[in-house]
């Protein structure tokens, strides 16, 4: 379908196939819930008057990206999405740190778009068309070298939007400063459009490439997953912690895509089907629990006035419903049965194992199997991270007066969170029907790849029937409680917590920093913790007057990758600056020289 654009001769064309439909479903369902939340959360908001309009435009732009039918329409929607989200990140624009963050986001978004434009121009040049359908039809005629270049440009461009390591640095900065409903949408949905672009590019517009494309995606996925969750564990700002978990989950999604790419290059349709299904299912699941958790973090921020988890605590008594929803979201993102995160991580494990078993050469078989180890490490660290996030924020005693005075979130916010919490349960218990729905949608999008309908019952030789396992678990838990009753009734007496003989104070509790310490030390070569301890003595004595302790982690990527790049750019600019002396005569001389050179070339 195409419509006349606002300018003469400008035609916007649209397409709606299974893949578009799937992503459109994610965009629309999550944004419906976050809008509900935004209405309830408005009392905590102090943005500029136009931010509501920007928010609406943001949703429309995301929808337009997934239904765009040609390169021009896509880029128009893509740029609108980036610019509008820049405006939304700037909501709290009176703070200098927010403006700085938004600026970094803008620069990285545009660098990403430049790579996407590069890929599109190459495709347009070789296929002679801007229409996506023509790219699909003429994919096979593409020269392998050009195809690799297109894939590389697309991977960098779409990977930046998705928040893949090492292109992730904008994400943990931009997401925390935006309002809760915007972070929920950016983390839950917008970064998935990078995944949409990557899937479109590598399964629709390009013919099957060499296996190393998939190997690169697998490696990037495993790296993003492990480093994302490790950095998340080191954060104390709840929203920043969640933002790093987005990097982790994008890594898990990339594992599925990597498996599918290797499978496609080796002509293994079953592997492609499982890999793609795992990736897309995780896209939907991550959208549900990440939006839920960001809304929960927003509710805490609204009630306590801080997202610093060291100042929270005891919120389960003050905000019980928020706590329940946040607990469900935490269990889901940690990949615990019977929730949705477990179902898609299980499928990702199966896809890795299936590829490992069916790949022809040992090196192609080993990579996915070892990536399985990385995914297990990720899952276990995610459990650690959410025990910390939920335990320190919601359990035990409040660590600040603000946390002690917290009140439950409003009705609309609670309804929005409850909807997504129920979605996490439903997508877990109903994983099989959800997957067969994805299976029906996706074959039409990636037509030559998936012929079979996916159900969970038996993938490869793995087995997972979530509702039955959940039922057995629930009944055995009940038996464990009821059976000891044959020994007679017992009572429970309420008493103090044992604190070595003194009354328990919040200061006795384990802090989030202490909780993460064993992991911080075990992985110190990666996260590079920096500790700064200062002891001030009373004048002339050895008595300690005060001690200050600060602990943070070195920003490795910013320091060693980005600072190196920006440093070179600035140095280059300094060199160029010498030519700029501000004198009109000099510039006229430059113009004259340029004309002479142009004439010489065009002679």
Partner 1 sequence: MNEAANVGLAVIHIALLVALAPGLSGVIKRMKAVLQGRRGPPVLQPYFDLLKLLRKDAVVSEHATAIFRWAPAVYAGCIATAALLVPVLWSTAPLAAWGDAIVLVGLFALARFMLALAGLDTGSAFGGMGSSREVAVAALAEPALLLVLFAVAWRTGGSDLSGASSWIIADGVAAFAPSQLLALVALVIVVIAETGRVPVDNPDTHLELTMIHEGMLLEYSGRPLGILVWASLLKQIVLFALVVALFFPFGIAATPSELPVALGAFVLKLGALAVVMSLVESSTAKLRILRVPELLGAASALAMLALVAEVVVG
Between the CA of residue 76 and those of 4, 50, 56, what are the distances in Å? 14, 21, 16
- Residue identified by tokens 């209405």 is 39
Q: For 199-227, give one letter per residue: b (16+ CB within 10 A) or e.
A: bbbbbbbbebbebbbbbbbbbbbbbbbbb
Tokens at residue 243, please?
């933002």
Rounded least distance, CB 376 to partner 1, Å: 4
How far is residue 133 CA from its own chain's centroid?
Answer: 29
Closer residue to partner 1 (CB): 199 or 277: 277
The least CB distance from residue 421 to partner 1, in Å, is 16
Choice between 487 and 599, CB closer to partner 1: 487
- Binding test (CB under 8 A) with partner 1, winner from 83, 104, 216, 504: 504
Question: Would the CA dihedral through 313, 530, 233, 35 be positive or negative?
Answer: positive
Residue numbers 167-206 binding partner 1 by CB under 8 A = none
**Residues 238/309, Cβ–Cβ less than 8 Å:** yes
225 neighbors 375 (Cβ within 8 angstroms): yes
Stretch of 11-19, 153-161, 269-277, 484-492 contacting partner 1, by CB under 8 A = 484-492
Which C-beta is closer to partner 1: that of 136 or that of 330? 330
Residue 464 binds partner 1 (CB under 8 A): yes
Nearer to partner 1, 478 or 536 (CB): 478
DSSP β-bridge partners for residue 14: 68
Shortest separation between residue 403's beta carbon and partner 1, angstroms: 13
Contact residue for partner 1 among 95, 317, 552, 568 (CB under 8 A): 317
508 touches partner 1 (CB under 8 A):
yes
CA 488/CA 148 separation, integer angstroms? 72
Distance of CA 430 to the CA centre of its chain: 23
Evaluate whether 272 touches 260 at the Cβ level (below 8 Å): yes
Task: Output 106 or 381, the one with its CB closest to partner 1.
Answer: 381
5 binds partner 1 (CB under 8 A): no
The stretch among 128-136, 209-217, 497-505, 557-565 that binds partner 1 (CB under 8 A) is 497-505
Q: How far is the CB of 312 from partner 1 (least distance, A)?
A: 12
Q: Judge contact between 365 and 486, C-beta under 8 A.
A: no
Among residues 133 and 377, whose Cβ is nearest to partner 1? Answer: 377
321 touches partner 1 (CB under 8 A): no
> Exposed, middle or buried: residue 465 (CB in 10 Å: 0-12, 13-18, 19+)?
middle
In DSSP notation, 21-80 reads HHHHHHHHHHHHHHHHHHHHHGGG----TTHHHHHHHHHHHHHHHHHB-BHHHHHHHHHH
In this structure, what token pair is assigned to residue 468? Answer: 């039955």
Residue 192 or 318 having the CB closest to partner 1: 318
Distances from the Cα of 381 to the Cαs of 43, 247, 262, 287, 353, in angstroms? 36, 14, 27, 20, 21
Among residues 480, 539, 565, 600, the one that binds partner 1 under rule CB under 8 A: 480
Q: What is the DSSP letter of 14?
A: B
Among 120, 244, 294, 349, binds partner 1 (CB under 8 A): 349
Q: Is 487 in the site for partner 1 (CB under 8 A)?
A: yes
Which residue in 396, 404, 412, 432 binds partner 1 (CB under 8 A)? 396
Task: Return the residue matching tokens 């896209």.
Answer: 283
Residues 287-316 that bind partner 1 (CB under 8 A): 314, 316
In the complex, least distance from residue 458 CB atom to partner 1, rounded to whole angstroms: 9
Tokens of 56: 């609406």
Residue numbers 509-568 binding partner 1 by CB under 8 A: 509-510, 514-519, 521-522
Q: Which of 97, 452, 468, 586 binds partner 1 (CB under 8 A)?
A: 468
Would you say 493 or 548 has its CB closer to partner 1? 493
Q: Segment near partner 1 (CB under 8 A), from 104-112, 119-127, 280-288, 472-480?
A: 472-480
Total interface residues for partner 1 by CB under 8 A: 83
Nearer of residues 495 and 571 to partner 1, judged by Cβ: 495
CB of 26 to partner 1, least distance (A): 24
| 501 belongs to the binding site for partner 1 (CB under 8 A) | no
Cβ nearer to partner 1, comparing 477 with 588: 477
417 with 292: CB under 8 angstroms? yes
Among 479, 526, 530, 569, binds partner 1 (CB under 8 A): 479
If the CB atoms of residues 496 and 532 are measured against partner 1, the closer one turns out to be: 496
**What backbone phi and psi angles, to 5 degrees, belong to 190?**
-60, -45
Instruction: For the segment 355-394, give every residue that binds partner 1 (CB under 8 A).
Output: 356-357, 362, 365-366, 369-370, 372-377, 379-381, 383-384, 386-387, 390-392
CA atoms within 13 A on the CB side of 80: 19
Q: How many angstroms separate the most distant Cα atoms in the chain?
A: 105
Specify whether the CB–CB gap between 492 and 451 falls below 8 A.
no
Applying the rule CB under 8 A, the residues between 424 and 463 that interact with partner 1 are 460-463
- To the nearest whole angstrom, how small is the minimum distance from the Cβ of residue 380 to partner 1? 4
206 contacts 151 by C-beta, under 8 angstroms: yes
Is residue 67 involved in binding partner 1 (CB under 8 A)?
no
Per rule CB under 8 A, is residue 595 in the interface with partner 1?
A: no
């Amino acid at each position: 379908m195409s419509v006349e654009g606002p300018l003469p001769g400008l035609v916007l064309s649209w397409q709606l196939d299974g893949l578009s439909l799937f992503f459109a479903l994610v965009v629309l369902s999550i944004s419906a819930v976050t809008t509900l939340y935004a209405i309830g959360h408005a009392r905590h908001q102090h943005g500029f008057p136009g931010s509501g309009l920007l928010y609406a435009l943001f949703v429309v732009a995301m929808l337009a990206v997934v239904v765009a039918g040609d390169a021009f329409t896509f880029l128009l929607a893509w740029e609108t999405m980036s610019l509008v989200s820049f405006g939304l990140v700037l909501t709290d624009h009176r703070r200098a740190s927010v403006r700085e963050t938004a600026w970094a986001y803008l620069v990285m978004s545009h660098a990403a778009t430049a790579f996407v434009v590069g890929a599109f121009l190459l495709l347009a040049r070789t296929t002679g068309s801007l229409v996506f359908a023509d790219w699909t039809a003429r994919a096979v005629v593409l020269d392998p070298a050009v195809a690799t270049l297109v894939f590389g440009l697309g991977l960098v461009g779409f990977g930046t939007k998705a928040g893949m390591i090492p292109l992730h640095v904008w994400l943990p900065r931009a997401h925390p400063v935006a309002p809760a409903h915007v972070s929920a949408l950016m983390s839950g949905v917008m970064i998935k459009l990078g995944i949409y672009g990557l899937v479109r590019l590598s399964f629709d517009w390009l013919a099957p490439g060499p296996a190393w494309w998939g190997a690169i995606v697998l490696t990037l996925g495993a790296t993003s997953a492990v480093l994302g969750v490790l950095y998340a564990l080191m954060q104390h700002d709840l929203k920043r912690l969640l933002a790093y978990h987005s990097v982790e989950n994008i890594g898990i999604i990339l594992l599925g895509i990597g498996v599918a790419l290797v499978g496609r290059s080796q002509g293994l349709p079953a592997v492609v089907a499982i890999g793609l299904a795992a990736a897309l299912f995780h896209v939907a699941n991550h959208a549900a629990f990440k939006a839920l958790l960001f809304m929960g973090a927003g509710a805490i921020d609204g009630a306590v006035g801080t997202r610093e988890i060291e100042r929270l605590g005891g919120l389960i008594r003050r905000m019980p419903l928020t706590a329940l929803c946040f607990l469900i979201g935490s269990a889901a993102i940690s990949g615990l049965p019977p929730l949705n995160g477990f179902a898609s991580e299980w499928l990702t494990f199966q896809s890795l194992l299936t590829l490992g078993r069916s790949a022809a050469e040992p090196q192609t078989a080993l990579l996915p199997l070892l990536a399985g180890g990385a995914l297990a490490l990720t899952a276990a660290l995610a459990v650690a991270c959410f025990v910390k996030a939920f335990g320190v924020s919601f359990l035990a005693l409040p660590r600040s007066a603000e946390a002690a005075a917290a009140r439950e979130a409003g009705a609309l916010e609670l309804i929005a969170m409850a909807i997504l919490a129920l979605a996490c349960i439903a997508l877990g218990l109903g994983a099989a029907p959800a997957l067969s729905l994805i299976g029906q949608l996706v074959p039409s999008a990636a037509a030559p790849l998936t012929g079979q309908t996916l159900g969970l019952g038996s993938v490869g030789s793995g087995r997972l029937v979530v509702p039955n396992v959940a039922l057995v678990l629930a009944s055995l838990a009940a038996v464990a409680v009821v059976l000891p009753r044959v020994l007679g009734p017992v009572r429970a007496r309420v008493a103090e917590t044992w604190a070595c003989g003194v009354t328990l104070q919040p200061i006795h509790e384990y802090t989030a920093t202490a909780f993460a310490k064993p992991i911080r030390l075990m992985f110190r070569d990666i996260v590079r913790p920096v500790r700064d301890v200062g002891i001030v003595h009373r004048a002339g004595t050895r008595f300690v007057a005060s001690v200050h302790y600060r602990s943070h982690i070195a920003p490795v990527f910013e320091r060693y990758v980005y600072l190196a790049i920006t440093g070179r750019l600035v140095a280059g600019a300094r060199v160029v600056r010498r030519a700029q002396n501000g004198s009109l005569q000099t510039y006229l001389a430059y113009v004259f020289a340029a004309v002479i050179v142009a004439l010489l070339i065009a002679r």
